[in-house]
Amino acid sequence: MTEDYEYRGLIAKAWDLLRGDTSTWPDRRYYRAIIERQGGLALDVGCGTGRLMLDYLAAGLDIDGIDNSPEMLALCRSKAAALGIEVEGRLFHQEMDQLDLARRYATIFVPSLSFQLVLDLAAAAATMTRFHDHMAPGGVLVLSFKSRFWENRPQPPQMQWSPWFKLAEKEREGGDIIRRYIRDRYDHDQQLQHEENRYEVVRDGEVIEAEFHSRCPCVRWYSQDQALALFGRAGFTDVKMTAADSDRPATPEDNSFKIRGTRP
């Protein structure tokens, strides 16, 4: 396993806090409905601290998870123990493009745009092949996508940093304030976003801890046609593209979309 993983330090420690209550996020219902229709075993790719996986296990679904961050997996195990949920033999420290598990899955799903963290196009193709090979016949793969990351603002200039802005601020148990600041830039030619983050822990108005994280680049974006082509090249059939977390067919205007395909 590479040590070059993103979700470490204060990013991991503050992840759940800064995200807030995710229990009403619509993707929770969306993926659960697919898993229940498919039956059998599911795999949560990029499971992180267990936002979806632990909820589904608590509901009696059969589900494993992988993530490339040992710190996020440790947090998931801690949360599972606090909830009385058994995850022994279900959590795996792996990269998507090197997926190597003994079990085969009726559903593999990649929420929260995590597939777009695979930056190299050859690695993305290898990831799709790994997914295909880890599915039982008739299994369904579901990926979430965005085709741009600068919503609610004009298209940014090529490779120019945005100003720093505060993305999130929350008070954690004990009274400390956690703040996340971010700036980004976009390589439109290569379809890659670059990002820098600054995390601060504030106590009584003083910064007592700070971390700087740079991922350049950090995310690849895909047009709808490019995302669909990934499925075709990997051998998936009955490929469908829907808008956001619905079963409505996506239109060209939909920036957030999901694609699912079946292993024959």
3-state secondary structure of 228: helix
Confidence of residue 1 (pLDDT cuts 50, 70, 90): very low
Report the first-to-last Cα separation within the chain, whole angstroms.
Answer: 31
State phi, psi for 210 to the nearest 5 degrees.
-150, 145
Structure confidence at residue 151 (pLDDT)? 84
Query: Average per-residue pLDDT in the chain?
Result: 97
Structure token pair of residue 135: 């599915």
3-state secondary structure of 132: helix
Structure token pair of residue 230: 């990934």
Any alpha helices (H) in 84-178, and if so which ranges? 121-133
Q: Answer whether 132's CB lies under 8 Å from 141's CB.
A: yes
| pTM metric for this prediction | 0.97
**Using one digit for the tens of pLDDT, what is the confidence trace for 11-50?**
999 999 999 999 999 999 999 999 999 999 999 999 999 9
pLDDT at 2 over 80: no
